Amino acid sequence: MEKPAGYTVHSNHIPVVNDCHVLRKIDFFLMPLLIITFMLQYVDKVILNGASQFGIIEDLHLYTVQGYTPGPEPQPILSLRRYSFATLIFYWGCVAGLLPAAWLAQRLPIGRYLACTVIAWGVVTMLTVIVGSYHGFLAQRFFLGVIECAVAPGFSIMIAMWWKRAEQPLRYALWYTSTGLGGLLGSLLIFGIGHIQGNLRSWKYQYLILGAGTVVWGIVLIFFLPQNPASAKFLTPEERLVAVERIRLEQTGIENKEFKLYQIKELLRDPVTWILVPTTFCLHFANGGLFGFGSVIISSFGYSRFQSVLLTGAVGGGVFVTCVIVGITGTFFKDCRTWLVIACEACVVLGACLMWKLNWDTQRAGAIFGFVMCGWFAGGYMMILALVGANIAGHTKKTFISGLLWCAWGISNGVAPLTIKKPEAEEHYPTCFLAIIVTTVIAICGAASLRSYLVLENKRRDREYGPVDQTVAMQLGFEDKTDRENELFRYSL
């Protein structure tokens, strides 16, 4: 395990620097970097949703004609299956890139690696304007997914590296609220950019302007995103020791560049892995099923393209509020994270039922509220990430389970858009909403199963090994032991 100079594993010396002071300094320096980066990533996801209202479907032929309506003036019956593939192939790119990205995140300085990734994704986003065909757009979207996939698991590793387990839920909340801010800000930006009158189509200005902003932000990250607590330039030498000491007792590790195959084998044998991965897949089905088509669905309510974009942004506002509430609750109430996952997903089920069954002509407000509630899945996933950060020890194991979870995220988002069938619009997309309800109920069962397993495992360890000796736990803090190797480790719920 890498340690700051002059620091030894068995040292009991703690510098005379206030822990709260160091925590505040870490929060004020790091959290804005994480929040803005993830917000830009979500803005990037919103662009296609907004561009669908500004001509990209027609310009790149993201539709096919299935037939024509009967009558003296037949109208074409359009299928948006091509648009579905353009949405989902981004996530298949993420799936293809996630495990290599996880390996690189362990082997390379993580701050530099993530900063360069941000610059690359901004460049690829800008290159969308030169794409002139459906197949070219598919290729561009796939490679964008390959590049962007490193950011989220990389940030999960950084949160586990810098904050104690009890502190992580609120930091995950602050980080993940940026998805809501990104949805809201992205919708407002697309609304504004959509009014630009120039030589290019409106959707091209959206990709150019937002991609350029991402490149500029990536350059900022090169200079400011630190590699680990032991080498952070924004901390004094004494503060670095405190930052490392804070995580030492947590027994989850800080950073280790050595790839340990036995930790991968343990990961694949760990029941927690095979509860978390399918739960993550099911939890994200609402995201892939609804939010790639958000403005398309809302326009089915009878709203104009500008109104549809703005109402899609309202979902982002709902996600922001939900993440804040869930994060604060998870921080100040002990062992409630799995309960919060269950509560958030129950709201998603209710929201999907409202959207499916309410009349979109006379009960629009209720349907829109249901759409907002479906966005509350984000609070549940935020707690899943917090559970991983708190309960998975061993740097290789933590890195690769983050990769597996984001793979499940990518596969779910890559499959769910196929449940949106344009001919079902008048029936309120029953295939989509039934799939969301079923998968979300499975996610609720997964969260309940995880809690039950961890409770039983903690009781078994207490029974076999007795209470935790904090002095011994501190000595194990730098040994990069996994949670299953370390008999003093107890799981958070």
Domain with 124, as residue range(s), is 26-68+75-229+261-475
The answer to whether the beta carbons of residues 251 and 486 sit under 8 Å apart is yes
Residue 491 clears pLDDT 50, i.e. is over it: yes
Q: b or e along 59-70 (b: 16 or more beta carbons within 10 Å of the residue's beta carbon)?
A: bbebbeeeeeee
Average pLDDT over residues 310-331: 80
Residue 68 clears pLDDT 60, i.e. is over it: yes
pLDDT at res. 6: 42
Instruction: Give burial (CB, 10 Å; 0-12/13-18/19+) of 363.
Output: middle
Distances from the Cα of 89 to the Cα of 49, 326, 434, angstroms: 14, 31, 23
pLDDT at res. 477: 54
Residue showing tokens 């939890």: 283
pLDDT at res. 2: 46
- The per-residue pLDDT of the chain, averaged, comes to 83
Q: Which comes out higher in pLDDT, residue 409 or 423? A: 409
Q: Read off the pLDDT of residues 398-407 as tens digits, 9 standing for 90 and up.
A: 878 887 888 8
Average pLDDT over residues 144-160: 86
Q: Read off the pLDDT of residues 29-52 as tens digits, 9 standing for 90 and up.
A: 999 999 999 888 888 777 887 787
In a domain, 85, yes or no: yes
Choose the most confident range, by mean pLDDT, from 139-148, 242-251, 397-406. 139-148
Q: Note the pTM of the prediction, 2 decimals.
A: 0.76
User: Per the structure, how many domains does the chain have?
Assistant: 1
Angle made by CA atoms 392, 398, 404, in degrees to the nearest 5:
110
- What CATH number is associated with residue 40? 1.20.1250.20
Give the pLDDT band (50/70/90) at residue 5.
Answer: very low
- Give the C-alpha separation, 479 to 195, whole Å: 57
β-partners of residue 68 are 76
Give the pLDDT band (50/70/90) at residue 473.
Answer: low
Average pLDDT over residues 92-105: 84
In a domain, 368, yes or no: yes
In a domain, 483, yes or no: no
**SS3 category, 372:** helix
In a domain, 267, yes or no: yes
pLDDT at res. 472: 56
Q: How many residues does the chain have?
A: 493
Choose the most confident range, by mean pLDDT, from 151-155, 208-212, 401-405. 208-212
Give the pLDDT band (50/70/90) at residue 8.
Answer: very low
In a domain, 254, yes or no: no
In a domain, 131, yes or no: yes
Rg (CA), the chain: 23
Residue 9 clears pLDDT 70, i.e. is over it: no
Average pLDDT over residues 199-210: 90
Least confident of 101-110, 137-146, 158-167, 247-256: 247-256
The answer to whether the beta carbons of residues 295 and 49 sit under 8 Å apart is yes
Average pLDDT over residues 5-30: 69
Contact partners, residue 428, CB within 8 Å, separation at least 6: 355, 356, 357, 360
Q: How far is CA 147 from the centre of its chain?
A: 15
Residue 169 clears pLDDT 70, i.e. is over it: yes
pLDDT at res. 122: 95
β-partners of residue 67 are 77
Q: Read off the pLDDT of residues 323-363 as tens digits, 9 standing for 90 and up.
A: 888 888 888 888 899 999 999 999 999 999 998 988 888 88
Percentage above 70 pLDDT, the chain: 91
Q: How far is CA 220 from the centre of its chain?
A: 22
In a domain, 468, yes or no: yes
In a domain, 239, yes or no: no
Average pLDDT over residues 462-489: 72
Give the pLDDT band (50/70/90) at residue 478.
Answer: low
pLDDT at res. 283: 92
Residue 457 clears pLDDT 80, i.e. is over it: yes
